[in-house]
Each structure stands twice: as C-alpha cells, then as structure tokens.
Amino acid sequence: MRLHLPVIGQVAPPVMGGALPLDPLVDLFARHVRYLRVSVTDRCNYRCSYCMPEALGTSIEFQPRAALLSFEEIERVVRLFAGLGVRKIRLTGGEPMVRAEIGALVRRVAAIPGIEQVVMTTNGHLVAEHARALVAAGLTGLNISIDTLDPDRFRELTGRGDLARVQAGIAAARAAGLPVQLNTVALRGVNDGELVALARYAWLHGATPRFIEHMPMSAGQLYAADAEISSASIRQILEAELGPLTVAASARRDPGPARHWTTSSGREVGIISAMTDHFCAACNRLRLTATGDLHACLGHDDAVSLRDVLRGGGSDDDLTRAIAASVTGKREGHTFERSGTGGPRKHMIGMGG
Ligand code: SAM
Ligand code: SF4
C-alpha cells in the first residue's frame, strides 16, 4: 500500500473575478460557517493504526515544507475568515505540536480581531512541554486523544506512543488552566471494555470524555468494519454502568458534531456519531489542510485550493470568492463508504479529524 499524504480529492481551480456573494459563509442549505479547522502539518510523531499505521513505513510521502502554508499565509486566511464571521479556530494536524514554533502561530491567530476561541487537537505527547507557553500565547482549549489506559495497548495502537507522557500532558494542560476534552475512537475488540474507565479517568482529571465512531477515511484502507461501534452502542455500554444518560444543557446551546450527554450525577460525556447519526444539518465548519486546500466536508473529497490564490498574487476578494465557492459546494450531508471502494479517499491525518 502506498499513501501520499494528504491525498486530496477533486481540488477545484480557485475562482477569480466576478461578484462577491452577500454572505460568503452561508451555504445553499442556510447553514452559517462559524468555525474553521486548520491543519498545520501532515506529519506526526505517532502512527495510530486507524490513521497512519507504522506498517506503511517508508511508503508515506509527506508534503515538502515549502508546500505547507506559512504562518503568514495561515494568518491572512484566518483574518479573512474572522472578517466574514468565523469565531473559532481549531489547530490540528497530523500532530500540530510537531510544527516548529506552533506557539507563535497560536499567538498570531489569537490576536486576530473577532477570533474568540483558539483550540487545538493533539495526541498529547508534547503537551507537558508546551501547555504554559500555549496558554500565554492565547490557546483557549485542548482536545487530547487517548484511546486506552493500558500502556502496552496504547503503544500498540499508536505505534510510537507513550501513555505516561500523554497522561502527564493532560495534567499539565489542566494545571495551566485549559479546558480539556479527551477524544477516544471507540474500537470493538480493542477498547470497548475500557470506555467507562476512560470516562471516569477524564472526569477525575477535570476533563470531558468524548467517544468517536471509527470512520473509513483513506478509501477504507485503514478501516475495519467489525471494529466500528455505533454511537447507540457506545451509549449502551456507558449506560450499563453509569445509568441513564440525558441530553446535556451544553448540547442545546451548542449543536456541534458531538452529542453531549449527562449522567445522573451531572457528569458530561460527548459521543461523535459521524457514521450512524449524522450531524450534517447543524454543521458550521470548514477544514483547511496544511497545504491550503479548503474542504467543506470531512466525508467528501471536494476541495478548493486557497494556496493557489495566495501564491498566485490573489487579492482578499479573490480569496473570498474561493472560500464562497467552497461554501456553496458544501453538500447537504455525507455518507461514508464502508466497503472501501468509495470515498472519502482523503486521509484523516491530512484533514485533522
Ligand atoms: N494528532 C492529533 C490527535 O491525534 O489528536 C490531531 C489529528 S487526529 C487526525 C484528530 C482526531 O482524529 C484524533 O482524535 C483521532 O483519534 C481521530 N481519528 C483519526 N483517524 C480516525 C478514524 N479513522 N476514525 C475516527 N477518528 C479518527
Ligand atoms: Fe498522528 Fe493523530 Fe493520526 Fe494518531 S490520530 S497518527 S496522533 S495524526
């Protein structure tokens, strides 16, 4: 198997010239984009089995550094998005903390007028070193991925991971005052017996646990259908030990992709059901890859290249038109292809989750 990272779907040529739409961030289904996820690198210090397994070895082709958007380019794009109404930026990857000077990028993005939240999704390996500086730079929240509490299983799942480091990172993030959510991909036969323990671990450390359905990215190459646990089953597993879950008040305020639930003792848990219970009608996000491709949906390969506009000397109006083309092309919803014969072909490591 040969993976080129990131494989991009049909990247449309940027749109130059023509009238500017009234609100470039409203799509054909009246959804307003208010949230931009920015992947800052396609590289990672881990090799998770469902994302970029070690077995791929030297067949992984990373993008050359010059192909990645520079901090100046990212800042320009985010400034434009902020002017159009985006309020929340999530930095992701690959592993965002392996990009050199990531704190400097956080500082730039956090200083942009209109941006209210700058959050990051990380595997946690480098959090202990960076947490304080990132908070000082303006980071407002952290999602840390942790799929198991068993050190050997953790190593096996992540290829190169170190559970103790991630746990130290969770403690450091909380000590630095960051709100923390812990992301777990629920995998049958791997960690389904640990979901309750992971939830309790998160609560004990002042974090919110979130369980994610396994998704067939990479044209299904890294997907095992029998490992997927539906959100309904995740809920059943949790309820069997924790009692009935009710819809959390935060879910009513912020209808994001994670459905948030509360236990009878008031503990909150999120379940992200991209596979079995779509949240597309409330989708308010776009995704920018490290190479500047703007994707309107995780489940489709379509993209518009903002890098071509940036590097082709495009004006802010040209960029806005390219963004509007992406938003207009945002599909009503997604269906992931479980058979491995269809889309999306793109990789999670290129998209950042
Ligand atoms: N490296 C960082 C991390 O692991 O948190 C950020 C990037 S990673 C692609 C973002 C999230 O996507 C992680 O929580 C990871 O577990 C999740 N993820 C990766 N591949 C997935 C898949 N096939 N299905 C569901 N979630 C996946
Ligand atoms: Fe790296 Fe995150 Fe993918 Fe794991 S899930 S390989 S940590 S990008």
Higher-scoring residue by pLDDT: 227, 335: 227
Q: Phi first, then psi: what are they for 32, rounded to 5°?
A: -100, 125
341-344 own/partner pairs: CB under 8 Å, 24+ apart: 341/219, 341/220, 342/219, 342/220, 343/9, 343/219, 343/299, 343/300, 343/301, 344/9, 344/217, 344/219, 344/298, 344/299, 344/300, 344/301
Atom of ligand 1 nearest to the CA of 213: 25
Q: Decide: 118 and 140 in contact? Cβ < 8 Å.
A: yes
With a pLDDT cut of 70, the percent of the chain lying above it is 90
Q: Decide: 245 and 235 in contact? Cβ < 8 Å.
A: yes
What confidence score (pLDDT) does residue 181 get? 98
Q: Phi first, then psi: what are they for 239, rounded to 5°?
A: -65, -30
Higher-scoring residue by pLDDT: 62, 320: 320
Atom of ligand 1 nearest to the CA of 39: 7
Q: DSSP code of 226?
A: G
Per DSSP, the residues of 189-207 read TTTGGGHHHHHHHHHHTT-
Cα separation of 162 and 270, whole Å? 25
Cα separation of 343 and 223, whole Å? 12
Cα separation of 277 and 10, whole Å? 26
What confidence score (pLDDT) does residue 16 get? 63
Helix (H) or strand (E) holding 217: none
Per DSSP, the residues of 85-106 read T--EEEEESS-GGGSTTHHHHH
- With 0-12 / 13-18 / 19 or more C-beta atoms within 10 angstroms meaning exposed / middle / buried, residue 315 is exposed
The CA 308 to ligand 1 mean position distance, Å, reads 27
Judged against a pLDDT cut of 50, whether residue 4 lies above it is answered with no
The CA 217 to ligand 1 mean position distance, Å, reads 11
How many CB atoms within 10 Å of residue 249? 11
| 84 in contact with ligand 1, CB cutoff 6 A | no
Q: How far is CA 198 from the centre of its chain?
A: 20
Give 2's pLDDT tier (boundaries 50, 70, 90).
very low
Q: Find, among 228, 235, 184, 230, the residue nearest to 210 by Cα.
A: 184
Cα separation of 178 and 337, whole Å? 36
pLDDT tens-place string over residues 139-197: 999 999 999 999 999 999 999 999 999 999 999 999 999 999 999 999 999 999 999 99
Q: Is the four-CA dihedral 45, 49, 54, 58 of positive or negative sign?
A: negative
The CA 279 to ligand 2 mean position distance, Å, reads 23
The CA 159 to ligand 2 mean position distance, Å, reads 10
Cα separation of 146 and 214, whole Å? 14
Q: Which two tokens stand for residue 328?
A: 């207009």
Judged against a pLDDT cut of 80, whether residue 29 lies above it is answered with yes
Judged against a pLDDT cut of 70, whether residue 103 lies above it is answered with yes
Range 2-351 has CATH code 3.20.20.70: yes
Domain ranges of the chain: 2-351
| 215 in contact with ligand 1, CB cutoff 6 A | yes
What confidence score (pLDDT) does residue 256 get? 65
Residue type, 210: R
- β-bridge pairing 293-295 and 285-288: antiparallel
Judged against a pLDDT cut of 60, whether residue 232 lies above it is answered with yes
Burial 110-120 (b: 16+ CB within 10 A, else e): bebeebeebbb
Cα separation of 347 and 43, whole Å? 12
Q: What is the mean pLDDT of the chain?
A: 89
Q: DSSP code of 18?
A: S
What confidence score (pLDDT) does residue 216 get? 82
Judged against a pLDDT cut of 60, whether residue 6 lies above it is answered with no
What confidence score (pLDDT) does residue 13 get? 58
Judged against a pLDDT cut of 50, whether residue 98 lies above it is answered with yes
Cα separation of 26 and 323, whole Å? 11
| 118 in contact with ligand 1, CB cutoff 6 A | no
The CA 58 to ligand 2 mean position distance, Å, reads 17
How many CB atoms within 10 Å of residue 262? 17
Atom of ligand 2 nearest to the CA of 47: 6
Q: Which residues contact 155 (CB under 8 A, 6 or more apart)?
A: 161, 162, 163
What confidence score (pLDDT) does residue 105 get? 98
pTM of the model: 0.93
Q: Decide: 325 and 296 in contact? Cβ < 8 Å.
A: no
What's the whole-number mean pLDDT along residues 49-54? 87
pLDDT tens-place string over residues 238-264: 999 999 999 887 765 555 677 899 999
| 291 in contact with ligand 1, CB cutoff 6 A | no
